[in-house]
Chains A and B, each alone.
Chain A
Amino acid sequence: MSNIVLETKDLTKYFYDPVKIQVLKSVSMKVNHGEFVSIVGKSGCGKSTLLYLLSTMDTDYEGQLFMDDQLITGKSDQELAQIRNEKIGFVFQFHYLLPEYDVLRNVMLPGLKLGKLSKEEVEHNAMEHLRTLDMTDQVLKMPNQLSGGQKQRVAIARALINNPLIIMGDEPTGNLDKKNSDLVFDIFNELALEKKQTLLVVTHDNDFAARTHRTITMEDGRII
Chain B
Amino acid sequence: MNFKLILNIAIHLLRARLKQSIVAAAGVTFGISMFVTLLGFMNGLNDLLDNLMLNRTAHVRLYNEIKPTEQQPVVLSEQFQKNTHFIRSIKPKDEGLAIYNSRAIIQNLKQDERVIDVSAKITTPVFFNSGTIEISGIINGVDVLAEDKLFQLTDYMIEGSVNNLLQNNSIMIGKGLSEKMLLTTGDIIKVTTAKGDLASLKIVGIFQIGIAEIDNTLTYTSLDTAQKILGKPTNYITDIQVKLYDISTASVVAKEFQHRFNVDTIDYETANSQFETGSSVRSIISYAVGIVLLIVAGFGIYNIMNMMIFEKMDSIAILKATGFSGQDVKWIFISLSLIIGIVGGILGLLLGLVLSTIIDSIPFETASLPTVTTYPINYNPFFYIIGITFALLTSTIAGLFPALKASKVDPVEIIRGK
Contacts and interface: CB of A to CB of B under 8 A. Distances in A.
Interface of A: 48, 52, 55, 57-58, 77-78, 80-82, 84-86, 90, 92-94, 96-101, 109-110, 112-115, 158, 170
B5 interface: yes
Given A92-B415, A113-B5, A99 B315 contact: yes
A77 B326 contact: yes
B280 to A, nearest CB: 50
Nearest to B12: A100
Interface in B318-344: 318-328
Contact of A57 (B16, B315, B321): B321
A85 B318 CA distance: 11
Contacts of B322: 84-85, 90, 109-110, 113, 158
Contacts of A115: 2, 5
A113 B418 contact: no
A100 to B, nearest CB: 4
Interface core residue of B315, B319, B412 (most chain A CB under 10 Å):
B412
B325 A78 contact: yes
8 contacts: A57-B410, A81-B326, A84-B321, A96-B321, A98-B315, A99-B315, A101-B12, A113-B5
A57 B15 contact: no
Contacts of A99: 16, 314-315
B370 interface: no
B2 A58 contact: no
B318 A98 contact: yes
Given A93-B418, A96-B317, A100-B16, A81 B411 contact: no
Nearest to B315: A98
Nearest to B16: A100
Contact of A113 (B12, B323, B327, B411): B323
Interface in B365-418: 410-412, 415-416, 418
Given A78-B327, A82-B323, 4 more contacts: A52-B415, A52-B416, A86-B323, A158-B322
Contacts of B324: 81, 85, 113
Given A52-B412, A96-B317, A110 B12 contact: no
B409 to A, nearest CB: 11
Contacts, number: 76
B244 interface: no
Contacts of B16: 99-100
Given A101-B12, A115-B2, A90 B416 contact: no
Contacts of A110: 322-323
B307 to A, nearest CB: 15
B183 interface: no
B45 interface: no
Contacts of B293: none
B13 interface: yes
A94 B325 contact: no
Interface core residue of A57, A78, A86 (most chain B CB under 10 Å):
A57
Contacts of B317: 96
Which 10 residue pairs are nearest across A and B when measured between Cβ atoms? A85-B323, A81-B325, A100-B12, A96-B318, A110-B322, A84-B323, A94-B418, A78-B325, A52-B412, A58-B412
A96 B415 contact: yes
Given A57-B411, A100-B15, A113-B5, A48 B416 contact: yes
A168 to B, nearest CB: 10
A162 B326 CA distance: 20
A98 B15 CA distance: 13
A81 B323 contact: yes
A183 to B, nearest CB: 22
Nearest to B416: A48
A8 to B, nearest CB: 17
A90 B328 CA distance: 19
B293 to A, nearest CB: 32
A78 B1 CA distance: 11
Contacts of B412: 52, 57-58
Interface core residue of A81, A84, A94, A112 (most chain B CB under 10 Å):
A81
Contact of A77 (B5, B325, B418): B325
A115 B2 CA distance: 8
B15 to A, nearest CB: 7
A114 B315 CA distance: 18
Contacts of B410: 57
A158 B319 CA distance: 12
Given A48-B416, A58-B412, A115-B2, A100 B13 contact: yes
A113 B328 CA distance: 10
A94 B150 CA distance: 82
B415 A81 contact: no
A197 B322 CA distance: 18
Contacts of B318: 96-98
A85 B2 CA distance: 13
Interface in B1-36: 2, 5, 9, 12-13, 15-16
Interface core residue of A77, A98, A158 (most chain B CB under 10 Å):
A98
B315 to A, nearest CB: 5
Contacts of B5: 112-113, 115
A58 B415 CA distance: 12
A57 B2 CA distance: 21
B339 to A, nearest CB: 15
